[in-house]
């Protein structure tokens, strides 16, 4: 049986809502985008939300809004996608990595504190990633930053809906950036959202998301007419179209039910793999709500005769789609060459990278698909055990 790594959950309601946009004559940013912003900000407990065409755009605008400049640094961790560190380089700023905690693969707050003490460049922001949807230790991170006025911009591409000690991800740091890419927990095809409590940051991101055009200018100067605008900065073109927001509105209403289904799949995997010697299942710390965007197993390589890559090949031969999240960024040619990194510079990220496999986990998975993943993984381990 073939099981894809992901299948988006698109139903009749999504199709009807997009059709409604198409027939309404309003295709780009308009009433549906505004409504999506309102409903999403409510869902994550934030006062302001800016809908954008990707999470990468949200991260870029967030760093612009907090004033990142060349010669400054942003601290993040290497267990992430290219976008997280790439946006820092847009400013000519320095991407500083600190390693992750072994159990969650999230930024290690102790290493963050150490980096903040030792760095010889001014740090503008810390950019933690809620890996797989497991919230970072936000109290420790915000405490470390708050002392020195450093902003916390979160990469929450995996973390909707997630919560830290009862507080939703989206209500924790200075700016939180979500992704609605095709494989994420809520999709608009391509899309993203930046949320914040700070009205000035929200205003700046909104202006910079659309050519640096200030729509408020005509009010200030008393010029009549909605044709008038002022360009206050060389902004970008990052707005979300209503066609995408239409998808988002419907997906948002299904988000809780979709999370529950992923939770049930995770429980089934935990039960099947947790008691074997071959596999370590993902840990969830107390007080955390995990979105269950990714289900990442780790192979106990000393119990197996094959490595992770061969394990993935065997699963592919059985028809099971998998992935690896992530190839640590410090090993990628660009960062390796720019900063002269060695693989072992971030030993937890590099060590865990060699044993991780992301298994299929999506709400539309049928029970027989889950069974197929379970039996394929167990068979592969058993047939190649020491």
Residues labelled catalytic: 184
What dihedral angle (degrees, nearest 10) is formed by the CA atoms of 327, 330, 336, 341? -130
Which residues from 128-147 bind ligand PLP, rule CB under 6 A? 129
Does residue 76 belong to the site contacting ligand PLP (CB under 6 A)?
no
Does residue 80 belong to the site contacting ligand PLP (CB under 6 A)?
yes
Closest CA to 80 of 57, 55, 61: 55
CB of residue 56 vs ligand PLP: minimum separation in angstroms?
3
| CA distances in angstroms from 336 to 46, 284, 339, listed in the order given | 37, 31, 6
Contact region with ligand PLP (CB under 6 A), list: 53-61, 242-250, 252-260, 283-291: 53-61
Helix ranges, 275-366 (H): 308-317, 333-339, 347-353
**Residue with smaller CB distance to ligand PLP, 105 or 281:** 105
The C-alpha atoms of residue 11 and residue 15 are separated, in whole angstroms, by 7
Which member of 21, 29, 54, 214 binds ligand PLP (CB under 6 A)? 54
Contact region with ligand PLP (CB under 6 A), list: 69-77, 137-145, 150-158, 369-377: 150-158
**Residue with smaller CB distance to ligand PLP, 178 or 350:** 178
Does residue 185 belong to the site contacting ligand PLP (CB under 6 A)?
no
CB of residue 371 vs ligand PLP: minimum separation in angstroms?
28
CB of residue 187 vs ligand PLP: minimum separation in angstroms?
10
Contact region with ligand PLP (CB under 6 A), list: 48-56, 224-232, 308-316, 359-367: 48-56
Which member of 41, 56, 95, 349 binds ligand PLP (CB under 6 A)? 56
| CA distances in angstroms from 98 to 5, 119, 263, listed in the order given | 29, 12, 30
CB of residue 82 vs ligand PLP: minimum separation in angstroms?
8
CB of residue 172 vs ligand PLP: minimum separation in angstroms?
16
The C-alpha atoms of residue 281 and residue 357 are separated, in whole angstroms, by 11
Strands (E) across the chain are located at 48-52, 73-76, 94-97, 123-126, 151-155, 163-164, 167-168, 175-179, 192-196, 213-214, 230-231, 279-280, 288-289, 295-299, 356-359
The C-alpha atoms of residue 85 and residue 165 are separated, in whole angstroms, by 27
> Residue 321: exposed, middle, or buried by beta-carbon count in 10 A (0-12, 13-18, 19+)?
middle
Q: Are strands 123-126 and 73-76 parallel, antiparallel or unpaired?
A: parallel
Does residue 179 belong to the site contacting ligand PLP (CB under 6 A)?
yes
**Residue with smaller CB distance to ligand PLP, 29 or 376:** 29
CB of residue 303 vs ligand PLP: minimum separation in angstroms?
30
The C-alpha atoms of residue 279 and residue 262 are separated, in whole angstroms, by 20
Contact region with ligand PLP (CB under 6 A), list: 7-15, 37-45, 50-58, 223-231: 50-58
**Residue with smaller CB distance to ligand PLP, 107 or 279:** 107
Which member of 49, 152, 157, 357 binds ligand PLP (CB under 6 A)? 157
Q: Which residues contact 272 (CB under 8 A, 6 or more apart)?
A: 374, 377, 378
Contact region with ligand PLP (CB under 6 A), list: 31-39, 78-86, 111-119, 143-151: 78-86
Local structure of 220: helix, strand or coil: helix
| CA distances in angstroms from 149 to 145, 259, 309, listed in the order given | 6, 35, 43
The C-alpha atoms of residue 349 and residue 330 are separated, in whole angstroms, by 9
**Residue with smaller CB distance to ligand PLP, 78 or 192:** 192
Contact region with ligand PLP (CB under 6 A), list: 135-143, 144-152, 154-162, 358-366: 154-162
CB of residue 290 vs ligand PLP: minimum separation in angstroms?
15
Closest CA to 80 of 362, 361, 301, 294: 294
Which residues from 187-246 bind ligand PLP, rule CB under 6 A? 192
CB of residue 52 vs ligand PLP: minimum separation in angstroms?
9
The C-alpha atoms of residue 202 and residue 234 are separated, in whole angstroms, by 17
The C-alpha atoms of residue 127 and residue 129 are separated, in whole angstroms, by 7
**Residue with smaller CB distance to ligand PLP, 53 or 376:** 53
CA 53 to chain centre: 14
- In the complex, the residues that contact ligand PLP under the rule CB under 6 A are 54-56, 80-81, 83-84, 129, 155, 157-158, 179, 181, 192
């Amino acid at each position: 049986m073939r099981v894809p790594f992901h299948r988006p959950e698109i139903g009749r309601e999504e199709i009807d809502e997009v059709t409604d946009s198409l027939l309404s004559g309003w295709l780009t940013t308009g009433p549906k985008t505004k409504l999506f912003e309102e409903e999403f900000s409510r869902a994550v407990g934030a006062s302001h939300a800016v809908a954008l065409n990707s999470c990468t755009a949200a991260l870029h605008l967030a760093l612009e809004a907090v004033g990142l400049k060349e010669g400054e640094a942003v601290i993040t961790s290497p267990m992430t996608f290219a976008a997280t560190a790439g946006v820092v380089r847009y400013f000519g700023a320095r991407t500083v990595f600190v390693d992750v905690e072994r159990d969650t693969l999230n930024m290690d707050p102790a290493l963050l504190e150490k980096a903040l003490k030792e760095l010889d460049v001014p740090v503008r922001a810390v950019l933690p990633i809620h890996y797989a949807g497991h919230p970072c230790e936000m109290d420790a991170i915000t405490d470390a930053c708050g002392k020195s006025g450093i902003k916390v911009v979160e990469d929450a591409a995996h973390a909707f809906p997630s919560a830290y000690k009862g507080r939703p991800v989206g209500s924790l740091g200075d700016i939180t950036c979500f992704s609605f890419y095709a494989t994420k927990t809520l999709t608009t095809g391509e899309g993203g959202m930046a949320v914040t409590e700070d009205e000035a940051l929200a205003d700046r991101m909104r202006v910079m998301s659309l050519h640096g055009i200030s729509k408020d200018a005509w009010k200030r100067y008393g010029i009549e007419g909605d044709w008038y605008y002022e360009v206050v900065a060389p902004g970008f073109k990052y707005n979300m179209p209503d066609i995408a927001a239409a998808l988002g509105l419907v997906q948002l209403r299904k988000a809780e039910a979709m999370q529950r289904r992923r939770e049930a799949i995770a429980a089934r995997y935990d039960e099947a793999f947790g008691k074997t010697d071959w596999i370590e299942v993902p840990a969830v710390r107390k007080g955390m709500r995990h979105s269950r965007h990714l289900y990442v197993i780790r192979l106990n390589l000393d119990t197996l005769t094959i490595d992770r890559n061969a394990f993935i090949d065997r699963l592919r031969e059985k028809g099971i789609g998998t992935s690896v999240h992530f190839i640590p960024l410090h090993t990628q040619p660009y960062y390796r060459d720019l900063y002269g990194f060695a693989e072992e510079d971030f030993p937890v990220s590099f060590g865990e990278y060699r044993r991780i496999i992301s298994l299929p986990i999506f709400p539309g998975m049928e029970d027989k698909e889950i069974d197929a993943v379970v039996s394929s993984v167990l068979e592969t381990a058993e047939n190649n055990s020491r």
